[in-house]
Amino acid sequence: MSEDVAIVGTGLHPFGRHPGVSGLEMAAIAAREACVDAGVKWEDIEFSAGGSEAAGNADTSVSLLGLTGIPFINVSNGCATGGSALTTAHAMIVAESADLALVVGFDKHPHGAFNLLPEEWGIGSWYGETGLMLTTQFFAMKIQRYMQLYGISDATLAKVASKAFSNGARNEKAWRRQPISAEEVAGSRMISDPLTQFMFCSPGEGAAALVLAKGEKASSMPVDPVYLRSVAFRTRKFGSFEVLSPSIPVEDGVPPTTEAARAAFEEAGIGPEDIDVAQLQDTESGAEIMHMAETGLCADGEQEQLIAEGATEIDGRLPVNTDGGCLANGEPIGASGLRQVVEVVEQLRGRAGDRQVPNDPKVGFTHVYGAPGVSACTVISR
Amino acid sequence: MVEAAERPIAEGLFVETTEGPRLIGSRCRDCGTVTFPKQNSCAYCAGADSEEHLLAPRGELWTWTVQRFRPKTPPYNGPEEFEPFGVGYVELPGECRVESILTTADPEELRIGMEMELTLIPATGPNGEAARTFAFAPAGPPTERNER
């Protein structure tokens, strides 16, 4: 396994709603926290990459952190913003262009569903005018078909959301910290059949940052490093069912999640069966269920039984979204992918407090997915 | 039925024929891949030689949901008094799966695999004017027209 790149510091601005605090200020707070955690100063950082979807250019945060003149690449890649920033920093370190890098993702979205404009996504304006420009519809239609094909029940959808809120209640930086029973989830307002209000995450605010170090350098630092064994980022191929598609082919293709996960596992030399803790894109309950299979962590249809027996809970055999995921943390697009990595690092370092996965987890996995069909996955281990 | 004077919500999306409305897609002359709406290049083979192709007016419901809250304006142009509407993908055999508004929002009337038929429904154009868009409706038993 490659020890080329280590994660030596993490920082997280609490997720939720923070009136009066800008996205860039949250980014700077997370970045400073990551530097303190790594025992380095901002001026020691040799390269940085980061971004947001809706809260400004990441590189302007240097005016809050200090103008040190380092190369700073702004990333704007939708839900894969964090993953793309991490991919970039990882590559810079592997290429020996930097020994110490900082990645940061942040966002600050208004209330309500994401409001996308079709023209920015290569679709005619009729699509939005007639009420089809909604990511919520896609997720509902994807899980609707999946449930029929693989025997997933409405009760399982509710359990996934209830687990997220229960994990969020154990995470002091989560947005939703109130446990909600599966019955309450199932009984909340229907948004897009079969998904109810509490089965969807909400756009929100937050920031996450990581300090990466070249492996050799990490071993001489006074920190407890974990290693970024791989990071893989893929876009959609012909035939996969993706968000915001006026039509799709009649032949089924391989989803970008599957392609990215396979590549990440292959590069790491670690298989899905070795994963002790996983963070998966849970835009809504169904997404977590489908992504479990798309990433290879289980077979299609196996989720019904796994979730019924509690396998994905913190003390289960495959803990998923231990920090409450997007459901309990909300979805600040630029921050989510890095939040997942921060959580895996905390779990592997044994620093996850009330939500610590028992028995000393060694290997973690993260997965983000977003419009218009992008996915980034990482394998991280001690 | 909508008034014949109402304009399509967008040019090049559908046409009315003597046998009813048809969606305007494109077909790649190199590999035969069918796409909707029409586009000049092919997402499968990257070929740049596409021809206009009218899609089949009937197919099977591949998946569905119900839009139960009013989408934000812009871009949504529907009435302020919102009525939930069905949304689905209809698989047109051998062509493509088309995303569409459905004429029913009642989950009891929707099931994957059911026969659906293209129709036109009222919509609101970019400047608030009456327009029409396409939708799929649960199909009755095949008629003489559809069998042709």
- Sign for the CA dihedral angle at A19, B70, A175, A260 comes to negative
Nearest CA of chain A to the CA of B66: how many Å? 5
Distance of CA A212 to the CA centre of its chain: 18
Question: Is B141 a residue whose pLDDT tops 70?
Answer: no
Residue A156, φ and ψ in degrees, nearest 5: -70, -40
Cα distances from A210 to residues A23, A362, B122, in angstroms, run 17, 19, 51
Please write the tens of the pLDDT for every residue from A89-111: 999 999 999 999 999 999 999 88
Averaged pLDDT for residues A60-89: 90
| Chain B residues in contact with A145 (beta carbon < 8 A) | 62-63, 112
Write down the ipTM of this complex: 0.92
| Beta carbons of A131 and B101 less than 8 Å apart | yes
Supply the pLDDT for residue B26: 97
| Chain B residues in contact with A246 (beta carbon < 8 A) | 36-37, 98-99
| Beta carbons of A132 and B101 less than 8 Å apart | yes
Question: Is B118 a residue whose pLDDT tops 50?
Answer: yes
Using CB atoms within 10 Å of the CB of residue A127, give its burial: 0 to 12 exposed, 13 to 18 middle, 19+ buried: buried
Mutate to test the interface with A, among B65, B77, B121 (most CBs of A within 10 A): B65
| Chain B residues in contact with A193 (beta carbon < 8 A) | 64-66, 68, 107
Mutate to test the interface with A, among B9, B72, B90, B109 (most CBs of A within 10 A): B72
Q: pLDDT exceeding 70 applies to what percent of chain A? A: 100
What's this model's pTM, rounded to 2 decimal places?
0.94
| Beta carbons of B96 and A248 less than 8 Å apart | yes
Averaged pLDDT for residues B125-146: 81
**Which tokens sit at B122?**
């009222």
Please write the tens of the pLDDT for every residue from B19-66: 999 999 999 999 999 999 999 999 899 999 999 999 999 999 999 999
In sequence order, which residues have a C-beta less than 8 Å from that of residue B4 and are 6 or more positions away?
A: none
The one-letter amino acid code at A201 reads C
From B59, which residue of chain A is nearest by alpha-carbon distance?
Answer: A250
Please write the tens of the pLDDT for every residue from A141-182: 999 999 999 999 999 999 999 999 999 999 999 999 999 999
From A253, which residue of chain B is nearest by alpha-carbon distance?
Answer: B44
Supply the pLDDT for residue A80: 84
Please write the tens of the pLDDT for every residue from A187-211: 999 999 999 999 999 999 999 999 9
Alpha-carbon Rg of chain A, whole angstroms? 19
| Beta carbons of A125 and B69 less than 8 Å apart | no
Q: Taking a C-beta distance cutoff of 8 angstroms, is the pair A380, A341 a contact?
A: yes
| Beta carbons of A145 and B133 less than 8 Å apart | no
| Beta carbons of B75 and A117 less than 8 Å apart | yes
Give, as one character, the DSSP assignment of residue B56: P
Euclidean distance between CA atoms A164 and A361, whole angstroms: 20
* Closest CA relative to residue B68, chosen from A188, A202, A193, A113: A193
Number of Cβ within 10 Å of residue A19's Cβ equals: 5
Residue B89, φ and ψ in degrees, nearest 5: -110, 130
Nearest CA of chain A to the CA of B18: how many Å? 24
The pLDDT confidence band at residue B85, using thresholds 50, 70 and 90, is very high
Supply the pLDDT for residue B69: 96
Which of the pair, A304 or A61, is modelled with greater confidence? A304
| Beta carbons of B101 and A137 less than 8 Å apart | no
Euclidean distance between CA atoms B105 and B111, whole angstroms: 12
Supply the pLDDT for residue A101: 98
Nearest CA of chain B to the CA of A171: how many Å? 31
Euclidean distance between CA atoms A304 and A317, whole angstroms: 15
Please write the tens of the pLDDT for every residue from A300-333: 999 999 999 999 999 999 999 999 999 999 999 9
**What does the mean pLDDT of chain A come to?**
95
Please write the tens of the pLDDT for every residue from A18-43: 999 999 999 999 999 999 999 999 99
